Structure 1
């Protein structure tokens, strides 16, 4: 795809996020149609367009960060599997010293750039799989990342390594099937408005978890 930024703007509408109305995102109206358009435009199989929607975990995590700016103020923040960049934008608005939004989908990074510009904040997009690298951030944020077994295992391993370095590590999750059952401490919960065609419901009860280091990890 030659013009990812143009594609994002052409197939979405800039609108407020339900639980975080102070943030605007380029959002799509229908997931399957958007996915088909991404594949038609690239003539190749594409990942689901997670970047085109405000998912429950990201909404809740963004709300929590904005309501508790002391968590990120003056710190270096990583938004992991950033999607639209919603959580990264919230961290920037809350006063983070720097924010990096990481994803492996080029369209996601285009959406991050467009959304950061729409909200007049600075976010650095990074297209890379970093889950096997050494964590290097004061705060690591992850919204809605436990959606498959393999991804949940890799994510949790990275998040716990980050926590072991002393980083503040938070995850927002609406009860996905592969949410880990250990290494999490509940901080808050929200009832989040979502796109019913994506979730089969209009409200998702979503929890903010603090990730703790694995037992025996050296800090």
Structure 2
């Protein structure tokens, strides 16, 4: 779970601006207006070609829904150890801390995400977030709650994520999944907890987004 290839925070500050997600105005995030230009800057200034797309530079619908739900229902995380799976910007991790989580693991494979989580935690004045890498093939960390936003975006990722979420649930963790109706989310075995209309980070269209709970 070690974090590798640290990204200078100055790069993120230079290529993003602060904004508040429409559904979670309590939180500020470093976001990009022009994702293509940011991606090009990552390749030219940040280490060459082959960089992953900057998913961390937007507030995706599933993450916004999870963050909103946690802030509205702090009892879900208060005093508990939380894993933000596929943390991206760290929006959900920040919301969990604001809702009273005792500590948060923010897991993402992208080193740019690691830098973004740190910056976004700083600008929101929160502490207690530990950034880690890919946990899906690791031994389950000691957590009480798993918050997974927008993780079922393709077949391959879903095939890795669902067994991990199931194992966390079997281990006694509360598992919540935020998703705007992607085809790979299973139609059975999940209980809807809340629904929100959230503008899509990729295009602005409003998407009906559900917070699901493993029963």
TM over 0.5: yes
Deviations 1:59-99 (A, max 9, x none): 00000000000000000001011000000000000000111
Corresponding residue for 1:149? 155
Match of 2:163, SS? helix
- TM-score of the superposition, structure 2-length normalised? 0.92
Q: Note if 1:129 corresponds to 2:134.
A: yes
Aligned-residue offset at 1:174 = 0.3
Q: Note if 1:209 corresponds to 2:212.
A: yes
Deviations 1:175-198 (A, max 9, x none): 123222232111110001233xx1
**Closer, same or farther: CA 40–177 of 1 in aligned 2, 3 Å:** farther
Q: How many residues align?
A: 209
- d(CA) in 1 for partners of 2:167, 2:200: 31
Q: Note if 1:19 corresponds to 2:23.
A: yes
Does structure 1 retain, via aligned residues, the 8 Å contact 2:93–2:129?
no
Q: Note if 1:58 corresponds to 2:63.
A: yes
Corresponding residue for 1:109? 114
Unaligned runs of 5+ in 2: none
- d(CA) in 1 for partners of 2:138, 2:167: 10
Corresponding residue for 1:191? 197
Does structure 2 retain, via aligned residues, the 8 Å contact 1:113–1:123?
no
Match of 2:134, SS? coil
- d(CA) in 1 for partners of 2:42, 2:211: 31
Aligned-residue offset at 1:125 = 3.5
Match of 2:33, SS? coil
- d(CA) in 2 for partners of 1:4, 1:177: 36
Greater CA drift, 167-176 or 33-42? 33-42
Greater CA drift, 100-109 or 172-181? 172-181
Does structure 2 retain, via aligned residues, the 8 Å contact 1:141–1:169?
yes
Aligned-residue offset at 1:124 = 2.8
Corresponding residue for 2:184? 178
Aligned-residue offset at 1:21 = 0.3
- d(CA) in 1 for partners of 2:169, 2:130: 22
Superposition misfits of 4+ residues, deviation over 6 angstroms = none
Match of 1:171, SS? strand
Aligned-residue offset at 1:3 = 4.5
